[in-house]
Amino acid sequence: MKFLPRLTALLIFLVVASLIVTACGRPKYVRDTDEPRLDEHTMSLRLDRVDLERLYQENIDALLTSSVVRRWDRNASPVVAVFPMRNETSEHIGPQLNALLSKFETDLVNRTNASVVSYENQPELLDEVRRQQSDAYDPHRLATYGRQLGAQFFVTGKVYDVAERVGDQRRVQYFMFIQVIEVETGQIHFQNESKLTKGLIR
C-alpha cells in the first residue's frame, strides 16, 4: 500500500501536466503590442488595414501633388466634400472604404487650402444618397447634392475586383479609382488608379 501515495502523486502530476500542455496549445486573443508582427499577416481576401494604408498612401500622394490641389492652394480656398466610394466588388468592404474616406478628409483639412464639408453632418442628404445610391454617382445628380452641401468639388471613388478560383486556390485583384469632380459641370479634374492583389495559395 506504500505505493498508493506515490501513484496518486504521479497521476496528479500527469493530469496537471496535460492541462498545461492543452492550455498552451489553445488559440488566444492578442493585441498588436503583444504580437508586433500581427498586422503583417493577412487573414482573409478582404481589404484589411495594411491594404487600406497602401491604397490610401498611393492615392493621397497623387492627389496632393496634382494640378487641381495646386490650384486650390493658389486660389481662395474652395469648398470640398468627401463623398462615399462606390463598392463594385464582390466583398463586403463598406466599413473599410468609409475608414479610407475619413483619412482623405483628415489630410485635405490639414494639408491643403480646401475648406472640407463633411456629408455625414447632413443627415437628410445622407439619407437621400443611401436611397438613390446608384444615382449619387451620376454627374447630373452631383450638382444637386453639391448645392445642398455648398461644395464646389467632390472627392469620391470606385472600387472594383476581379476574383478567380482554380481548385482550392483563390485570387482577388482590387482596382481603386479616386476622383475629384467639379460639382457644377461634372468634369473630372483628377483621377488616380491604384491596385493590389490578395490570394489564398495552398
Higher pLDDT, 61 or 9: 61
| CB distance 188 to 155 below 8 Å | no
**Any idea which of 24-33, 57-66, 133-142, 177-186 has the lowest mean pLDDT?**
133-142
CA angle 125, 187, 105 (to 5 degrees): 50
Quickly state the pLDDT bin for 108 (edges 50, 70, 90).
very high
Please give the grid coordinates belonging to residue 7: 501513484
Question: For the chain, what are the domain ranges?
Answer: 40-200
40-200 maps to CATH 3.40.50.10610: yes
Q: What is the mean pLDDT of residues 128-136?
A: 56
Instruction: For the beta carbon of residue 181, count every other beta carbon within 10 angstroms.
Output: 20
Q: Span 112-133, mean pLDDT?
A: 70
Predicted pLDDT of residue 67: 95
Q: What is the band of 194 on the pLDDT scale with cuts at 50, 70, 90?
A: very high
Residue 92: partners with Cβ closer than 8 Å, 6 or more residues away: 46
